[in-house]
Structure 1
Amino acid sequence: MASERCLAQGCSAPGPVPKGKIRIYSMRFCPFAQRARLVLNAKGVRYDVININLKNKPNWFLEKNPLGTVPVLENDCGQLICESPIVCEYLDELYSEKKLYPTDPFEKAQQKMLLEEFSKVVPFFYKVPTGKSKGENTAAVEQELKEKLEKLNKILVDKKTKFFGGNIVTMIDYFIWPWFERLDGYGVRQCLDGAPQLQQWMQNMLEDPIIKATMFDGKTHKAFLQSYFDGKPDYDLAL
């Protein structure tokens, strides 16, 4: 059972994952869940998607993950893995033919440290539109986000590579990308003005076939995020 439309309270639970398959519980516009879908697609894994209404979650989903967050990965043994970095690392080890994390332990540790640093940036993408929806002056928040993006820019300057992990797309690029895909939706593209290498990284990412095949356009993201910040998220937008 795959579900493009989100399942809410009262919807029947899907059956067991078919033998030899893998299932992801997701939400079409969730950047954290997008990380896992990017990795699955990059590895060429066939998978089922069950989209969840995160504002009105089915009880059976909360039994799988009491925190109620996505992504959640379920294999054909009924084993469940939650939290996007853990899900993605599990997939990288399970489908090891095309590794996305570096094999060198130090380089892998560097990517994990950068992910930890980026996790502190993520809240600022939401603070700006949230503040604007409340009629607040967001200049200070935008300036702080701009400074954080300039630090990311400096990493690319120092590395002298096309991507954060080198000259090919690796795990850290897929971890960071979803928030940059949504820049126009968040209304923070101007915060990239002092980060030319980061802008070039975005252009490089847009050439990746996995990104091309899985992304939504800026107009769609903007429409969903507007519904989200209005308190009525349209999870089934454009279906």
Structure 2
Amino acid sequence: MYTQKSFAKGSTAPGPVTQGTIRLYSMRFCPFAQRTRLVLQAKGIKHEIVNINLKEKPDWFLEKNPLGLVPALETPSGQVIYESPITCEYLDEVYTDNKLLPSDPFEKAQQKMMMEHYSKVTPYFYKIPMGRRNGEDVSALEGELKEKLAKLNEHLKKTKSNYFAGNSITMIDYMMWPWFERLEVMELKHCLDGTPELKKWTERMFEDPAVKDTMHSPDTHKAFYQTYVAGKPDYDYGL
């Protein structure tokens, strides 16, 4: 079941999670929720999606997740798991087909270390467009972002791999991807100039079935982003 329209304050809570499936509380344009959707698709997990209006969150959702954040998972037994890396690791542990995390402890630790590094990169995807909108000089911030992207490029160059942990897509690729999908919308695509390996990685990722299943077109992203910047996010844009 895909519940496309978002549930807002005052809405009736959806019924219990169907046996044999897992429910994802999401928002169609949220990059953090997209991480979990990518994992669900890549692993072929039977699931249903309930989209949440993040500006006017339903009380019933806040009871399930007091932080009010997406993504959050709910099992048929009523267990709730939230925070994007935690939901993704949970899915990989519970649904053992098509494993995305390595079983070797050191290799798994390496992916988590890469995630720690990448967590320092994502704030730039918000700071730079915001600064630009406020009329600030963002050239220094862009320079810092380019440095960090150059390090990611260096990793791919050094390992001579198609993806960040080898020649097939693994968890770390999906964890990083959503912000690269949005580079054009955030007017940061030029930050990939001078990072040829990273550019090739993005081209490969665009061809991945799970990425294709969860992505929006640049025009759709832009249209939603404009409503978000205006302070009136249209979570149901395009439906």
Shared fold (TM-score, shorter chain, > 0.5): yes
Residue in structure 1 matched with residue 9 of structure 2 by the alignment: 9
1:14-64 CA-to-partner distances (Å, cap 9, x unmatched) read 111111111000000000000000000111111110000001100111111
Residue in structure 1 matched with residue 131 of structure 2 by the alignment: 131
Which residues of 2 match residues 46-195 of structure 1 at below 5 A? 46-195=46-195
SS of structure 1 residue aligned to 2:198: helix
Residue in structure 2 matched with residue 197 of structure 1 by the alignment: 197
- Unaligned ranges ≥5, structure 2: none
**Structure 1: how far apart are the matches of 2:169 and 2:229?**
32
Query: Superposition RMSD on alpha carbons, in Å?
Result: 1.0
1:54-77 CA-to-partner distances (Å, cap 9, x unmatched) read 011001111111111100000000
The answer to whether the 8 Å contact 2:27/2:33 transfers is: yes
The answer to whether the 8 Å contact 2:26/2:72 transfers is: yes
How far did 1:80 drift? 0.3
How far did 1:226 drift? 2.1
Deviates more, 1:33-42 or 1:133-142: 133-142
How far did 1:230 drift? 2.1
**Structure 1: how far apart are the matches of 2:113 and 2:66?**
28
AA partner of residue 35 (structure 2): R
Structure 1 runs (4+) greater than 4 angstroms displaced:
none
1:75-133 CA-to-partner distances (Å, cap 9, x unmatched) read 00000000010000000011112100012111111001000110111010011111121
**Structure 2: how far apart are the matches of 1:213 and 1:50?**
17
Does residue 1:234 correspond to 2:234, yes or no?
A: yes
Which residues of 2 match residues 29-40 of structure 1 at below 5 A? 29-40=29-40
Output the TM-score relative to the length of structure 2: 0.97
The answer to whether the 8 Å contact 2:20/2:46 transfers is: no
AA partner of residue 164 (structure 1): F
Count of aligned positions: 239
AA partner of residue 233 (structure 1): P
Percent of counterpart pairs with the same letter?
A: 60
- Unaligned ranges ≥5, structure 1: none
SS of structure 1 residue aligned to 2:131: helix
**Structure 2: how far apart are the matches of 1:77 and 1:27?**
23
The answer to whether the 8 Å contact 1:6/1:27 transfers is: yes
Relative to 1, partners in 2 of residues 1:213 and 1:2: Cα closer, same or farther, differing over 3 Å?
A: closer
How far did 1:214 drift? 1.8
How far did 1:150 drift? 0.7
SS of structure 1 residue aligned to 2:123: helix
How far did 1:2 drift? 4.2
SS of structure 1 residue aligned to 2:140: helix
